[in-house]
Amino acid sequence: MAHPTQLGFQDAASPVMEELLHFHDHALMIVLLISTLVLYIITAMVSTKLTNKYILDSQEIEIVWTILPAVILVLIALPSLRILYLMDEINDPHLTIKAMGHQWYWSYEYTDYENLGFDSYMVPTQDLAPGQFRLLETDHRMIIPMESPVRVLVSAEDVLHSWAVPSLGVKMDAVPGRLNQTAFIASRPGVFYGQCSEICGANHSFMPIVVEAVPLEHFENWSSLMLEDA
């Protein structure tokens, strides 16, 4: 959960998000080194009146400043491509959930069960219980088992939406008439918040996403209760 004055990312709650955080640190360190080198060169050029004739026309320096950027780009591209393929990898999901975007709420359907689905609306500010977050809490949370691969099929019924949960490293566009899919594994129990990340109309800011990861036994008890109530 993000907090006021936070500068970095939210704590990772999935293996993919941990990889994304590591890649962010890796790329940021490269940017920092490049910025430091450029700042030093600018300072040296401005502050000295001396001129080196070998720098003004040097084949060796031109070779270095051509090859070095290419090497740096490779060092950034390889881990980036690795994570890109990891995010696309969906191997034998234990649970499939269909998330449908509407104006302006989400509906969830657990497709592995015969009749398990519900709509998820934002809780109005006046109805919030103590400890709940304004504009982020929903009346029905998406419950998932922790440490289990979960596939989410994302689509929309009216306009473009985007199903995003930063802690899980998940963001997938919901396009009317098209079924997109993403997958994640919640590595620890907890409640993870997200919001629609595609401007979808007047109440775009009021369709939050709440994912609650629980132990498998608790998930089975919850699903049994939901099926009994259906």
- CB-count exposure of residue 206 (10 Å: 0-12, 13-18, 19+): middle
Q: Which two tokens stand for residue 112?
A: 């592995």
pLDDT tens per residue, range 194-230: 999 999 889 999 999 999 999 999 999 999 998 887 6
Is 180 in contact with 216 (CB distance < 8 Å)? no
Query: Could you tell me which residue, 109 or 1, shows the higher pLDDT?
Result: 109
Whether the bond into 104 is cis, omega within 30 of 0: yes
Strands 190-196 and 142-145, sheet pairing: unpaired
Q: How many C-beta atoms lie closer than 10 Å to residue 150's C-beta?
A: 24
3-state SS track over the chain? CCCCCCCCCCCCCCHHHHHHHHHHHHHHHHHHHHHHHHHHHHHHHHHCCCCCHHHHCCHHHHHHHHHHHHHHHHHHHHHHHHHHHHHHCCCCCCEEEEEEEECCEEEEEECCCCCCEEEECECCHHHCCCCCCCCCCECCCEEEECCCEEEEEEEECCCCEEEEEHHHCEEEEECECCCEEEEEECCCCEEEEEEECCCCCCCHHHCEEEEEEECHHHHHHHHHHHHHHC
Bridge partners of 110, per DSSP, are: 97
Q: What is the mean pLDDT of residues 52-64?
A: 78
Q: How many C-beta atoms lie closer than 10 Å to residue 22's C-beta?
A: 13
pLDDT tens per residue, range 113-135: 988 999 999 999 999 999 899 99
Query: Does the structure show a pLDDT above 70 at 43?
Result: yes
Looking at every residue in the chain, the average pLDDT score rounds to: 92
pLDDT tens per residue, range 156-182: 999 999 999 999 999 999 999 999 999
Up-side HSE of residue 150: CA atoms within 13 Å toward CB? Answer: 28
Amino acid letter at 210?
A: V
Bridge partners of 131, per DSSP, are: none
Q: What is the mean pLDDT of residues 49-62?
A: 76
- Strands across the sheet containing 95-102: 117-120, 105-110, 95-102, 149-156, 180-185
Considering only CA atoms, which of 12, 199, 184 is closest in space to residue 89? 184
Which domains are present in the chain? Answer: 13-86 (1.10.287.90), 93-227 (2.60.40.420)
What pLDDT sits at residue 230?
64
Query: Does the structure show a pLDDT above 80 at 55?
Result: no
What pLDDT sits at residue 91?
83
- Which pTM value belongs to this model? 0.86
Q: Which two tokens stand for residue 72?
A: 């740096």
